[in-house]
Amino acid sequence: MNVFNQLSIWLSFQLSIVFLIGIPVTLSLWSIKKRNKAVNKLLSIYWKISLLFFISLLLLIGKYSYALLITNISTFLMTVSVWFWIDINDELKEYDFSHSLTTTTKIWRWTVTFISLNFLILSLQNFNCFSFINSDTCAIWLQPSSNLYIFIKNLFNFFFGANFSQPIAKFLGLFALLIYILGLIQWSIIKLPKNGRNSCFSDNGRN
């Protein structure tokens, strides 16, 4: 794996921390303060979907063979979740550029899309890592999760006085993945046919 590819992967993970976690936290707090129900609803849906991204990080820590595939699926679903809802899209269109909250939200949606596409392109360049993350050529994909593993391990030991190991991370990740899939199936069978692409946020209290 060349140096440029390694740098691209490292940078992608750093950007994901900012745009997939940091900015959504800021937008969530901002929308609550401004009582903007459209943005608040969009972010609440986003956080539910983004749980799969955090699950994929656990699986990367546990060196689960298909962890990178799940990471790409998670970023794809996160992108879909911020564009899918017709009522939210229509609401955001009604705000002009001077409305800072909705403008920032619109820019953030495009950034999430770019990060998702970038992850996919980089992953396809290392296609074998989709099914075998433990190979030597895929080591760069495990480095960001290794730093997270050290942090969680120290935190786990501090609060519980117990050892947090990679097998435990893998087990927790797979168990959380099963719960996530069951929840997604339930939504697809029950809520999607009923509401379609309507997020059902209230139009009252617009700011």
Residue 206 lies in a domain: no
Whether 202 is in a domain gets the answer: no
Read off the pLDDT of each residue in 157-166 and give the average, rounded to a whole number: 71
pTM for the full model?
0.88
| pLDDT of res. 206 | 46
Reduced to 3 states (helix: H, G, I; strand: E, B; else coil), residue 1 is coil
Q: Is the residue at 205 inside a domain? A: no
Closest listed residue to residue 57, CA positions, set 177, 182, 178, 158:
177
Is-contact 55 176, C-beta < 8 A? yes
Q: How many distinct structural domains can be found in the chain?
A: 1
Question: How many CB atoms lie under 10 A from the CB of residue 131?
Answer: 11
Asked, for residue 207, whether it belongs to a domain, the answer is no
Residue 57 lies in domain: 3-195
The answer to whether residues 77 and 52 touch, using CB atoms and an 8 Å cutoff, is yes
Q: Has residue 173 been placed in a domain?
A: yes
Can you tell me the mean pLDDT for 29-49?
95
Ranges 86-90, 149-153, 165-169, most confident: 86-90
Q: How far apart are CA 201 and CA 39, in angstroms?
A: 10
- Could you report the per-residue pLDDT of 14-25, keeping only the tens digit for each? 888 899 999 999
Q: What's the residue count for the chain?
A: 207
Mean pLDDT of the chain: 87
